[in-house]
Structure 1
């Protein structure tokens, strides 16, 4: 049974070809709060197998297609809103949630709501041992990110939080609007945070709460540091969506300036420091072109 202390807190987990560990994590999550699993696994047969392994307490929404992370999150959040929930915890299928994480973030958000603060999202610090341990929070600066150390006992105003492990205030969902379906994947959480802040809402990092989370695949070593890496297809979406956001008026000029610096650096890394780099560069340039021409949605 869900923990009574979290009676108005729900969770959304997005599946895509989940393994046994992903299913086990979702079942454990359902013991603490309402858990909605939105499954983007394409095949009906695999969806049936997954559904049979999930606990009866899990709300299972199979799409039988990969509709993208934005659409899947929107589906899960809309289900929680329809069922009367006030807060939504968002998780990737491989994210390790704990009762302390959920209860802690929900407590911070509930305190903000009680003080009538316009807070859209709170999230933990995250740790990826393959990169540099506990990652700092981020504020946008001109031509580079301002990194804010994950320390202290006061929530920090930040410009961006990754979606996994974050807690959404559903009372402001209609004011901000849903995740952008057209982006499909990559920069979905960034765009939503930017839009929330452009409409007068705050995004808060909670430095005393942390979560283990791995960004992408095995990092690439370049210029004396580790860089998060993804598949060539993901790099298509990364470049395409970055360009799409550069064209939007509500997106902060600070973020735009930083991306204009980072995009050519990424191309150099793909070309020189990544196995099969030619494919990564080709897909990135294809994404760049589609972003310029306004072609969004899933890659056909």
Structure 2
């Protein structure tokens, strides 16, 4: 069966030093959407990136940010451009390392329409599975399940949602942008639906072995690994998670406690086994302080250099 593009949907992709295989994935994506906007977040100032030029040759709209503005601002710019040029009914947002299975958009729209027909107003429809593995759900054994904390990548979002809840929060810069948007969607009584049969392939990043005095840590017969992040990412994850608590803790305490468990576990192993633990520890402490004080925006350049050295 040939997959036809949906004239109601525009895709917006955030990019930063885009990978060589992005045009091939966008070519497949264009079979499901009427147009694709790619926003380069300040990595192609001299306008000679061959990947971005290849995307333009495919007919994509390529926006180049003059500086690194963060994923929220980059996506917002692409979404606004889509509003003005095509007046779509839905936006699907994607990372540069994500790919939607054939039929993903049609399945997401079918889920949305069925939920609406049954009195459930969807704020977005996200992937049911990543790389073939089901995502955590908010509640099980319900007719229209909701994702616990859906990624922005792969989210099919009605334009009406943006009009109701606003755009992505640019002050967070990178991490927790999707989590904050999800909570804002739920605050307005909208559902974060999962699309039936919607699978997204998404890069997981590199994990390194958990080593203790030369021994690869093994628990219940399974060798353990830890996903290590650069210290500046640890800063954003810590700061923005605390910001979520301050903004939404009273309204969604159970959700935040559940999310905190994953965060604490990740932080513990990262600080114990990750690379550049000194820089990560400093980033963690500064993130705690700035999150508590409500200091948002882009990380201070001098501090980023300090924790990265």
Would you call these one fold, judging by a TM-score over 0.5? Answer: yes
> Is the 1:157–1:204 contact (alpha carbons within 8 Å) kept by the matching residues of 2?
yes
35-44 vs 252-261, which deviates more? 252-261
Query: Which residue of the partner structure matches residue 299 of structure 1?
Result: 299
Which runs of structure 2 are paired with 1:10-29 in the superposition (5 Å)? 10-29=10-29
Shift of 1:160: 2.2
Q: After TM superposition, what 4+ stretches of structure 1 lie above 6 angstroms from structure 2?
A: none
Distance 1:30 1:264, change over 3 A: closer
Rounded to whole Å, the distance in 1 between the matches of 2:200 and 2:43 is 29
> Is the 1:127–1:214 contact (alpha carbons within 8 Å) kept by the matching residues of 2?
no
- Unmatched segments (≥5 aa) in structure 1: 140-145
Shift of 1:120: 0.7
Shift of 1:12: 0.8
Rounded to whole Å, the distance in 2 between the matches of 1:232 and 1:56 is 36
Which runs of structure 2 are paired with 1:35-184 in the superposition (5 Å)? 35-46=36-47, 49-54=50-55, 55-82=57-84, 83-113=86-116, 117-128=120-131, 134-139=133-138, 155-184=144-173
Rounded to whole Å, the distance in 1 between the matches of 2:149 and 2:260 is 18
Shift of 1:57: 2.0
Aligned residues: 284
Rounded to whole Å, the distance in 2 between the matches of 1:183 and 1:219 is 27
Distance 1:110 1:62, change over 3 A: farther
Rounded to whole Å, the distance in 2 between the matches of 1:237 and 1:18 is 22
> Is the 2:107–2:196 contact (alpha carbons within 8 Å) kept by the matching residues of 1?
no
> Is the 1:159–1:194 contact (alpha carbons within 8 Å) kept by the matching residues of 2?
no
Distance 1:85 1:113, change over 3 A: farther
92-101 vs 24-33, which deviates more? 24-33
> TM-score, structure 2 length as denominator?
0.81
RMSD: 2.7
**Could you say what secondary structure the match of 1:241 adopts?**
helix
Larger Rg: 2
Distance 1:247 1:262, change over 3 A: same
Distance 1:234 1:135, change over 3 A: farther
- Unmatched segments (≥5 aa) in structure 2: 211-216, 301-309
**Could you say what secondary structure the match of 1:279 adopts?**
helix
Give the alignment partner of residue 179 of structure 2, picking from 186, 190, 194: 190
Query: Which residue of the partner structure matches residue 245 of structure 1?
Result: 244
Rounded to whole Å, the distance in 2 between the matches of 1:5 and 1:115 is 26
